[in-house]
Amino acid sequence: MSYRLHIPKTLQEAVQIKKETGGTYLAAGTDILVNHRHKDDLIALEKIPGLSSIEEEKDYVRIGSLVTFNQLEKSSLVKEKLPALWQAAYNTAGPQIRNRATIGGNIGCFSPASDSVTALLALDAEVELFDGKTCREKLENLHFLDNTAMITSVLVPKRFGFSAFEKVGKRNAMSVSVINMALARNGSEVRIATGCMGPQVILCKDPSSVLEFLYPINDRWGTIEYKTAVARKLLDKLTKEAGL
């Protein structure tokens, strides 16, 4: 397999290369390079400044798209204000992958097993995109990326007094989830997200109807019966912890 690697130094340059080559954005490559999902040119984002920090804003925590799971895990701000995201980061893969894999790449995979996406959906996160100009989109409305759009940061609201994330996997935290679930609560506002139980991470705002929205399949990770039983247990645990 051969391909050209571009290493732009600005957002504008990256978008221009994407327009000209139709290439694929490359963050850490723990998904695309492992799964050989790119067809042609790769556009590495690592030299673009300003994408690797975690900052507190008035109502949000702003997380750059190149922030790694290791950075999330080490961040006291994330641990304190966004516990569900911290738990998702802590439980993602093993240390080697966590040192490299990015939050932008986790979203960009659009995988139903992306652990951070489950936490971010529960926390009502927004994504900042750049395609020559900047725009913002709620993560729950983002099902694919248009043409040249690049994720530059994730904005996670701080308003949820309670949030938590649970994951069941084949080997504890070393591989993708068999099922994961996150719940965030701010008074009467409740958001529950579940991964691996459909073609994408599923969001539900009513705890009493979560199980109706799940449609697991039999696969090498588990049977429909197993996954449904685990989902019931996780939902029970999370709703109890949230005081529901």
Ligand X SMILES: Cc1cc2nc3c(=O)[nH]c(=O)nc-3n(C[C@H](O)[C@H](O)[C@H](O)COP(=O)(O)OP(=O)(O)OC[C@H]3O[C@@H](n4cnc5c(N)ncnc54)[C@H](O)[C@@H]3O)c2cc1C
Give residues in contact with ligand X (CB under 6 A): 24-32, 34, 45, 65, 92-93, 97, 101-102, 104-106, 108-109, 113-115, 145, 150-151, 175-176
Q: Which is nearer to ligand X, 31 or 124 (CB)?
A: 31
Token pair recorded at residue 106: 């986790």
CA torsion sign, 135 to 138 to 141 to 144? Answer: positive
**Nearest distance from C-beta of residue 11 to ligand X, angstroms:** 10
**Nearest distance from C-beta of residue 51 to ligand X, angstroms:** 7
Query: What is the CA 70 to chain-centroid distance, rounded?
Result: 14
CB 195 within 8 A of CB 118: yes
**Nearest distance from C-beta of residue 26 to ligand X, angstroms:** 5
Q: Which is nearer to ligand X, 105 or 207 (CB)?
A: 105
CB 148 within 8 A of CB 18: yes
- Nearest alpha carbon to residue 138 among 125, 156, 122: 125
**Nearest distance from C-beta of residue 104 to ligand X, angstroms:** 3
Q: Which is nearer to ligand X, 126 or 190 (CB)?
A: 126
Token pair recorded at residue 143: 């099902």
Q: Which is nearer to ligand X, 145 or 244 (CB)?
A: 145
